[in-house]
Every structure is written in C-alpha cells, then in structure tokens.
Amino acid sequence: MSEIDRILAAALALAAAAADISAQAWRGALAVRYKPDGTSLTEADLSIESMWRECIRRQFPSHGILGEEYGADAGSSAFTWVLDPIDGTRQFAAGLLNFASLIGVCRDGVPILGLIDLPAPGARYVAAEGRGTRFGSRLVRSSGQRALDRAVVSLANPDSFTAPGSAAGYRRLRSAGRVRVFDGGAAAYGALARGLVDLCLNGDDLDAYDICALCPVVQEAGGVISDWRGRPLTLRSRGAILASASPALHAAALDRLALPG
C-alpha cells in the first residue's frame, strides 16, 4: 500500500468517527462558547480535533498537523494534515444542518488530498492527487460551464467580505450568474465538483484549515480554485478564495472581481 493509500484510508476512518461525534452532539443540548474573535465553539469541535490528532500521531508520527482548535504541530516529513473538525460551527451551534468536517493533507505545502464530510445528509466528497473526486462511490466532474451569465453562483455570508477590495468584488459578482445561492459553506465546493454549482466565492475570514481540503475536491473534478488574484492555494493561504467549474469561467470571474494592483 502506498503512502497516499494509507493516508486516504486513515482520513476516511477519521471522518466516519467525527460524523458520529457531531451527529450525537447536534441532537443533544448544544452548549456554545465564543472565542475571542467572536466565532462559535462547541465541545464537539474540541473532541473531534483531539481524537483526530491522537490518531494521526499514532499512525503517522512524522507528519505535521495544523488544526483550527489546537494550532500547529511541526512534523519531520513532507506531509501536513490540515483539520477543521466542524466547518460551519455557527450553523452547527444554531441547530442548522449546513456544517461539515474538513480533512486536508498537504505535501510540501501543496494540498494533495481533501475530504469534505457532510454528517447531516451522510454524504462525503473525497479527492486525492491523480485519482479524481468521488461523491460516495462514484466519480464526479464539474459542469465545465464557461459563461458567467449562465453560471450557478454560490456566495458566502456577506459579512465575510470585510476588506474594501473584497466587499466591492462581492458586490460586482453578486449580480452575476443565472442562479445565486448564499452561505453554502464547504458543501458548495463539493456541489461544484458534482456539477451542480459553477462558481463559489468566499471572503476574508478563511484560514488554511478552511481552504486546503477544498482544493483537491475541486481540482480533481476538473475545476479551478485560487485566491482572488488567481494564485494557487497552499498551506500558507488565507483570506478570500474563488472556485470555478472551468478555466474560462474562472478567468471571467477574476476579471469581474478585479482587485487593484
């Protein structure tokens, strides 16, 4: 079994264990705390990431880990796991269903494996370098849509576009497309890989643990994902991102965003 095969098998097991924890927590009496930056935190976030870290250290002691709740642990190998135990804690803590668990793995800082697990519908997107993107048991592809005016566009929470440039870009793209949906979270990037959404836009509030798992899911399905200047996303990426169903659509959306400089 190759190293990627071992990592993929471990990631799938971690996602399954996390889904049990988050589902049980969601059905229970959700106790919500707030971090200094005002974002929501639940015991499920902490429990899942603690469990994940323990399992990764046991199976891959040389790998690095970066997680939302417990920060960075440097490794001695090229691989770093990038973890968001509950992406969309705001929705999760409000008793809504729009949340996911994100597991990404980077090699030399470049995302090569991504997993978007949606516990509420029991659905999962999985992608690894050179192996395509799977939704459940089947390979999926982006729509290949090229025309911005015909695109299905997913736009993040408007409050996340805080910088002057990103707020203006959001307003310009807000009027684009044939259909628009809002605050889709990580599930929207899976839907892009599945050919249901053509364009995903997120604002300034993202960190690497929000981003890395999305990259292989989009790219292995034939889509394109970058920052708003078209630069590739890595372990060091933060802030606003754009994903598209085709290179032509990506170029058109970047032109509409048109950041200065």
- For 219-259, the DSSP string reads HTTT-EEEETTSPPP-TT--S-EEEESSHHHHHHHHHHH--
pLDDT digits (tens, 9 = 90+) for 229-241: 999 999 999 999 9
List the alpha helices (DSSP H) in 60-185.
89-93, 164-174
Residue 250 has pLDDT above 80, yes or no: yes
Average pLDDT estimate for 76-84: 97
Domain ranges of the chain: 3-140, 148-257
User: Does 259 have pLDDT greater than 70?
Assistant: no
Q: What is the CA radius of gyration of the chain?
A: 17
Range name among 161-170, 183-192, 212-221, 252-261 with the lowest pLDDT average: 252-261
* Amino acid of residue 4: I
pTM for the model: 0.95
CA 185 to chain centre: 8
Phi, psi for residue 200 in degrees, rounded to 5: -125, 135
pLDDT bucket at 260, cuts 50 / 70 / 90: low
E-strand stretches of the chain: 32-34, 40-42, 64-67, 71-73, 79-87, 100-107, 110-118, 123-128, 133-135, 138-140, 152-155, 179-182, 199-202, 224-227, 241-244
Among 43-47, 76-80, 102-106, 247-251, name the one with the lowest average pLDDT.
43-47
Here the tokens at position 66 are 């970066």
- How does pLDDT run across 22-35, given as a tens digit for each residue? 998 898 877 778 77
- Please state, rounded to an integer, the average pLDDT across all residues of the chain: 94
Instruction: Label residue 188 by pLDDT band (50, 70, 90).
Output: very high
Q: Residues 149, 229: contact at Cβ < 8 Å? A: no
Average pLDDT over every residue of 126-134: 98
Confidence of residue 208 (pLDDT cuts 50, 70, 90): very high
* CATH superfamily label, 3-140: Fructose-1,6-Bisphosphatase, subunit A, domain 1 (3.30.540.10)
| Best CA proximity match to 100, nearest among 115, 110, 112 | 115
Q: What is the mean pLDDT of residues 97-113?
A: 97
Cβ contacts of 208 within 8 Å, gap of 6 or more: 66, 82, 235, 236, 237, 238
Cα separation, 24 vs 21, in Å, equals 5
- Using an 8 Å Cβ cutoff, are 100 and 185 in contact? yes
Q: Which amino acid is at 245?
A: A
Per-residue pLDDT, 185: 96
The fold adopted by the segment(s) 148-257 is D-Maltodextrin-Binding Protein; domain 2 (3.40.190)
**pLDDT band per the 50, 70, 90 thresholds, residue 244:** very high
* C-beta of residue 131 within 8 angstroms of C-beta of residue 219: no
Q: Which band of pLDDT confidence, cut at 50, 70 and 90, is reported for residue 225?
A: very high
Question: 22: helix, coil or strand?
Answer: helix
